[in-house]
Amino acid sequence: MMRGDAMAMGETPGHARADGHRGSGPADKRAVPAHDVAKTVVLVDGYALVRKGMRAVLEAQASLRVVGEAGDSDSAISEVALQQPDVVLFDIDMWQDRVTPTVRKIREMSPKSRIVVLTTNDNPHLLGVLVLIGIRAYLVKSVGWSLLISAIHETCVQNDNILLLLSQQSFPRIASRNENLLSPRELEVLELVSFALSNVQIASHLRVSEATIKRHLRNIFVKLGAVSRIDAVNKAAAAFLIASPSGQPNSMAGAVPERGKPN
């Protein structure tokens, strides 16, 4: 999900009514069907006035319920640990070197919470790090309210997707930053792992020993913070290191993957 020409955050989109007309703003609150449960949100922003504005917009949606807010790292971690929200909406612009440790701690204290990052700076290094440690959306603040609300809902229904709303100019910088995270051989190994090939098959394909493949995988796990082969593949694909698998590599077209071996 990418868009570089989104509305400014300060704009308030109209909301569709049942008669097909559009309301004037977030006060046009729509009912949620009885079988749906409102998604809970904790707001994290250094400015109380900004939090108040975001709360007003989000609570105008019957499908969202703000259950807490925080203005600094410690209170953010405490509030998320207490509330265990569906979503943490985190404006990271004031946080500097506290962003990564705060996100890590939130993930530790409430692993089921989806973290949606808001920022004015689509920094490729920071984006790569945050994707690897588990955020579910990274949005520049030029996004409009309607897209922000849609992104919050998307993170709650998608299991694997990471939502990025960035300027088009960001992608060359992201690619050049991430391509040095893993060595060329490690990328080659990981791409073969993404095709569900076993260590024995990968070793045969690359004409190296199985022990060498295991060593590469250990290094990959450490660099990506991965806990399994599939976790490593998912994190690498999310960080644009490898393509999402769509089949077997051509040179292995006749091979049958051995899926049972984790190492």
Backbone angles phi, psi at 34, to 5 degrees: -60, -30
Domains parsed from the chain with CATH numbers: 39-176 (3.40.50.2300), 179-252 (1.10.10.10)
**C-beta separation of 129 from 121 below 8 A:** no
Q: Please name which of 186, 192, 172, 185 lies closest in space to residue 240, comparing C-alpha atoms.
A: 172
pTM of the prediction? 0.58
Which pLDDT tens digit goes with each residue over 111-135?
A: 999 999 998 876 777 787 888 888 9
Reported residue count of the chain is 263
Tens-digit pLDDT string for the chain (263 aa) = 444 333 344 444 433 333 333 344 444 444 444 346 899 999 999 999 999 999 999 999 999 999 999 999 999 999 999 999 999 999 998 877 789 899 999 999 999 999 999 988 767 777 878 888 889 999 988 888 888 999 999 898 866 778 887 665 555 555 555 556 788 899 899 989 999 999 999 999 999 999 999 999 999 988 887 889 988 888 887 776 787 655 445 444 444 343 334 44
Helices 124-133 and 170-178 sit at what angle, rounded to 10 degrees? 60
| Element of type H or E holding 89 | strand 87-91
Q: Please name which of 65, 55, 60, 72 lies closest in space to residue 87, comparing C-alpha atoms.
A: 65
Which pLDDT tens digit goes with each residue over 198-229?
A: 999 999 999 999 999 999 999 998 888 788 99
Q: Which residue has the tokens 């030029």?
A: 142
* C-alpha 94 chain-centroid distance: 20
H-helix segments, the chain: 48-59, 73-83, 99-109, 124-133, 145-157, 170-178, 184-194, 199-206, 210-224, 229-238
